[in-house]
Amino acid sequence: MPFLLAPAGSPECLRAAIAAGADEVYLGGDAFNARINAKNFGNKELIAAGETCKINNVRLFITLNTLVADRDFAALREYMVFLEQSVQPDAYIVQDIGLAVWLKKNFPDIVLHASTQMQQHSSGAVSLLKALGFSRIVLAREMSDKNIKTVCQNDIECEVFVHGALCVSMSGGCLMSSMIGKRSGNRGECAQPCRLKYSGKSEYPLSLKDLCLAEHIPELTAMGVTSFKIEGRMKSPEYVYTVTEIYRRLIDENRSATYTENARLRAVFSRNGFTDGYFTGKIGPSMFGIRSESDKKLAKTIKTEKLVLSPREEPFKKTAPLPLILPHKNTEMIIPPAHQKGFVLRFESRSPGIGVIKKYYELAARIDLPVWDLERLDGINKYSEKISVVLPRTIYDSDSGEVQRLLGFAKAAGITQVTLSNVAYLGICGDFYTHGDYSLNVTNTETLSLLESLSLSSVMISPEISPRFLSFSPLAKEYIVYGRLPLMQTENCIQKNIGNCRRDNCGGTLTDRTNTDFPVRREYKHRNIIYNSVPLYLADKINALKKSDVGLYTLLFIDEYENEREFDKLITLCTQKAPAPFALTRGYYK
């Protein structure tokens, strides 16, 4: 029987979760917690939470599900010593893969769970995650039933969200709040720009309804899902109790929810109903909704009984910690850093014409082209030496065969380099040289060291940190010095919600309440990428970046090359490291 995992954003919610029948609970302290704006738990409350869970034979998971910088590790060590001595949780939920390695080096007997923020959409990373000490994967919420089933067939625990809020951005990949207002979702500070108004046919084209898989309990159980997870650390004790109590019955009786149970779930919290669109594969505008006044009135009708904590008869068997087994670097598959110096020309979403590649070939240290748009370029083999094909941001198991076919085409054209956004894709890259993309979320030296041992030739430092805050690493480092940063990748077509989808040529703008325009472009399989309204510009800071050991300077283009004269000016501006004459952002550069 699957476990039921409930949220506890406060001590009151913890009691509600246990009283309603949760097998497992997850909560966070005052730091390193992706719900930093929840009430959360101070140190004394964490000690009490640990005692409460032990008395009631409920497993306790602590969230360490944010990105960390080198400067954070001293505080992390102090926090971990406290947790291990005074709280003794059953597992830690971790986003940052470098943090995971550090944790297992320093606290080898702990159990690790890979957070959904780690962007695991497939079975590709299972072997690596187990080697790094992870016992469980929290699967991305965008996954379909078929792809969930595929991952569950691997020898690792799989945790699946069954209820609660959904982000429109692919799990773990949103930079919108961070780049607009310096409130990073990867640091637990998301301002939720997806819940705001935008212009178009739908006023709220980014606001998804909440997830509800109460109709699919028997299917999920048959797949072998280890734990059913409820989202909601920002929600009330009434919400936690009501949702947990209903799912407790559904799991125990292995059935779908009744009309009455669905109505009660909707009453306690919904955004004009629920969606199961990702799970069923029925993706589209019907998945979107906002919290209406009638929704809020319904919530006032929900009352919970007096909470009674009844200890389970027997404690759950403890999960044995897995050892840390670090990979061994293959130097034959690494391009030496000395051979990787200069500008990387990165073309997003669509490749430019072959004429653009020819014109700037000598200037570039590397040219990044989307692998899904490569086949239309005649004569690409003439320029294969410097080309790296960029893999899709998200590759499900159901996508893997098609992506491997595209890589086969690239290889036949003489291309030997691949740029990837997730360690899960290393297995399909074969004997290509690999480069790490910005969405690997590299914010500390531990992550750099791990990626070096995985034989990556270069790694792009996250745009959420200035490179000077990372310690030295022999790995070739890359940083974006020009471009509209990708803020979100979405499974849904946002242009369809707005009313501007043009199918194969889908693209346009998303206009917010301040009349600011964010370009939207089609990616692989009609997924969308939303880009920042203004470009990042740091080409005039390249000399300073060199002092931080950055040797590759990425110029990221979405369609600038369509105006040849202006594109020439832009390239000249960047290569001359001149101040920009246009509106720009410096991002997190310091």
DSSP symbols for 93-116:
EE--HHHHHHHHHH-TT--EEE-G
Spatial distance between the Cα atoms of 554 and 579, rounded to a whole number of angstroms: 17
The reported pLDDT for the residue numbered 255 is 98
* Look-up of token digits 């790490």: 436
For domain 3-166+208-299, the question of CATH label 3.20.20.70 is answered with yes
Q: What is the pLDDT along the chain (590 residues), one digit of tens a residue?
A: 999 999 999 999 999 999 999 999 999 998 888 777 767 899 999 999 999 999 999 999 999 999 999 999 999 999 999 999 999 999 999 999 999 999 999 999 999 999 999 999 999 999 999 999 999 999 999 999 999 999 999 999 999 999 999 999 998 889 999 999 999 888 888 989 999 999 988 899 999 999 999 999 999 999 999 999 999 999 999 999 999 999 999 999 999 999 999 999 999 999 999 999 999 999 999 999 999 998 988 888 887 777 878 777 777 888 999 999 999 999 999 999 999 999 999 999 899 999 999 999 999 999 999 999 999 999 999 999 999 999 999 999 999 999 999 999 999 999 999 999 999 999 999 999 999 999 999 999 999 999 999 999 999 999 999 999 998 889 999 999 999 999 999 999 999 998 888 877 788 999 999 999 999 999 999 999 999 999 999 999 999 999 999 999 999 999 999 999 999 999 999 999 999 999 999 999 98
The reported pLDDT for the residue numbered 534 is 97
Candidates 261, 254, 276, 241; CA nearest to 2 is 254
The reported pLDDT for the residue numbered 185 is 85
* Look-up of token digits 């109903």: 273
Could you tell me the sign of the dihedral formed by the alpha carbons of 173, 179, 180, 181, in that order?
positive
Spatial distance between the Cα atoms of 394 and 121, rounded to a whole number of angstroms: 7
pTM: 0.96
Q: Which residues contact 90 (CB under 8 A, 6 or more apart)?
A: 24, 59, 60, 61, 111, 318, 319
The reported pLDDT for the residue numbered 544 is 96
The reported pLDDT for the residue numbered 189 is 86
The reported pLDDT for the residue numbered 395 is 97
The reported pLDDT for the residue numbered 32 is 87
Whole-number Cα distances in Å, 264 to 243, 326, 419: 9, 48, 47
Candidates 185, 205, 95; CA nearest to 140 is 95
Asked if the domains 3-166+208-299 and 333-484+535-575 are classified in one and the same CATH topology, the answer is yes
Q: Where would I find the beta strands (DSSP E) of 474-558? A: 476-483, 486-490, 507-511, 517-522, 528-531, 536-537, 550-557
Q: What counts of helices (H) and strands (E) characterise the chain?
A: 18, 23
The reported pLDDT for the residue numbered 281 is 95
Candidates 65, 73, 97; CA nearest to 436 is 97
Amino acid at 240: V
The reported pLDDT for the residue numbered 76 is 96
Domain ranges of the chain: 3-166+208-299, 333-484+535-575
- CATH fold, domain 333-484+535-575, is TIM Barrel (3.20.20)
The reported pLDDT for the residue numbered 33 is 81
Buried b (16+ CB within 10 A) or exposed e, 231-266: bbbbbbbbbbbbbbbbbbebbeeeeebeeebbebbb
Coarse DSSP helix, strand, coil percentages of the chain, rounded to the nearest 5 percent: 35, 20, 45
The reported pLDDT for the residue numbered 274 is 97
The reported pLDDT for the residue numbered 172 is 82
CA 393 to chain centre: 10
The reported pLDDT for the residue numbered 554 is 98
